Structure 1
Amino acid sequence: MKTQIKSYLENLTETLNNLDIDAIENCANVLLKAYENGNHIFICGNGGSAATASHFACDINKGVSYGLQKRFKVIPLTDNLGTITAYTNDVGYDIVFEEQLKNFFNPGDVLVGISGSGNSKNVLKAIDFINKNGGVSVGWTGFDGGKLKELAHHSVDANINDMQISEDIHMTMVHVLMKLLKEAVVEIEKPKVKNLYDVRRFTLRKKAKV
């Protein structure tokens, strides 16, 4: 068992070290531009990737935006179970994300599609909708990137033939992007200090910069 643990961690470490830093920075800039322009950021995925989508929305909507005058507008297309099951039952699972976009999408909005294989049909349909209607598409993938890597305007690929490590990379990206975006928006917007938590948080941030 210890050998398996060591092997997994070694593979994870190697994958992290081989990530395309420029691609991650580019993704951060896409999200920051959406923030500056007041656009929505949609995110979707299946299974573990759906959980990552929810986590991403939490970390950006609260973790980055709390205390700021201007907020990110992140909508996870994975979280309305009633809507998802209605479309799945009545129409088909392949369109559950695309159809939700038709309710909320405006030109210039961003969609982050997460698919370990890069071939999830519902993610690909949502990305295709974004591309055809004046949006900006971002793909987070694993393995060889699949169709998503080619279809998305911007892509970050874990580039490893292992679903669990691919998902680990995507969750790491959530936290990296959270920190990058927080640093960026604090410089842009003056926070509204509403309570002691805010005072302490931004005081510590100021000291850390010194």
Structure 2
Amino acid sequence: MDFFFNDYKKDLIHAIESLDWKTMKEIADRIIELRNNGNIVYLIGNGGSSATPSHSAGDWTKELRIKTICLTDNTPSVTAFANDTDYTNIFKGQLETFLSKGDIVIGYSGSGNSPNVLNAIEFAKSKGNFTVGITGNYNDRNGGKLVSLADLSLVANTTSMERIEDVHLIINHIIKEYIKATINASQRISKV
């Protein structure tokens, strides 16, 4: 049993240590710019990869005063698009209604190959919006198609979906804390 816990811990630590910190800062800086311009961040994902965006939408809205909407939380729209068109349209359909110039779309997918996430990211890019992919190496796919489709991508370097999802929440908390520290520092400077 100790072997299992040690293995989980080692793999999780490796996945965290191998994150691209420069890219994470770049994503956070883009979100700060979005906040200053009054635009909206849209978060999308399936299953566990929808729970993290939902959690983060609450954090970013309350603590950072960033307009953040998790499109998986709009159950009537998700089920209407799935039923009346196709499941691959559940996020794209909502973005066709809500997306404005300057908004950012962040897609979460452990495999990087979720068709509804890819469809929405592709749509956002076609409208000139900035896109981010948060993915993993599930089944050794190196982040899947999402990595090359999104403008910036972060890949959790583990093949375990559970640890990918662990890392995705850690990424969101790091981004939130970095933004909060940056905002607080800039407020201190402006008071001087």
TM norm structure 2:
0.92
Aligned residue pairs, count = 184
One-letter identity of the residue aligned with 1:6: N
Q: Who is 2:74 aligned against? A: 80
The residue aligned with 1:127 is 121
- Structure 1 residue identity aligned to 2:10: E
Q: Which residue of 2 aligns with 1:43?
A: 43
Task: Supply the distance in 2 between the matched residues of 1:38 and 1:188 (Cα, whole angstroms).
Answer: 17
Tell whether the 8 Å contact from 2:133 to 2:150 is kept in structure 1 after alignment: yes
Equivalent-residue separation in structure 2 for 1:92 and 1:5 (angstroms): 41
Which residue, out of 106, 109, 132, partners 2:103?
A: 109
Structure 2 counterpart of 1:92: 86
Amino acid at match of 1:170: H
Structure 1's consecutive aligned runs of 4 or more residues displaced over 4 angstroms after TM superposition are none
* Equivalent of residue 130 in structure 2, options 125, 136, 139: 136
**Residue identity matched to 2:61:** N
Q: Kindly indicate whether residue 55 of structure 2 is the aligned counterpart of residue 55 of structure 1.
A: yes
1:162 to 145, 160, 163: 160
The one-letter code of the counterpart of 1:25 is K
Residues 14 and 157, structure 2, Cα contact 8 Å, conserved in 1: no
Secondary structure, aligned partner of 2:172: helix
Worse-matched range after superposition: 159-168 or 148-157: 159-168
The alignment partner of 1:78 has SS state of helix
**Residues of 2 paired with 1:173 and 1:187: CA distance?**
21
Tell me the SS of whatever aligns to 1:126. helix
**Residue segments in structure 1 that go unaligned for 5+ positions in a row:** 66-71, 191-210
Q: Partners of 2:21 and 2:120 in 1: how far apart?
A: 26
- CA RMSD of superposed structures (Å): 1.2
Larger Rg: 1
Which aligned pairs between 1:27-38 and structure 2 lie closer than 5 A? 27-38=27-38
Instruction: Provide the C-alpha distance between the structure 1 equivalents of 2:56 and 2:82, rounded to a whole number of angstroms.
Output: 24
Q: Distance in 2 between matches of 1:41 and 1:189?
A: 22
Measured in 2, the distance between the counterparts of 1:54 and 1:189 equals 28
Which residue of the other structure, out of 177, 181, 184, is the alignment partner of 1:183?
Answer: 181
Distance in 2 between residues matched to 1:187 and 1:58, nearest whole Å: 23
Structure 2 portions without partners, runs of 5+: none
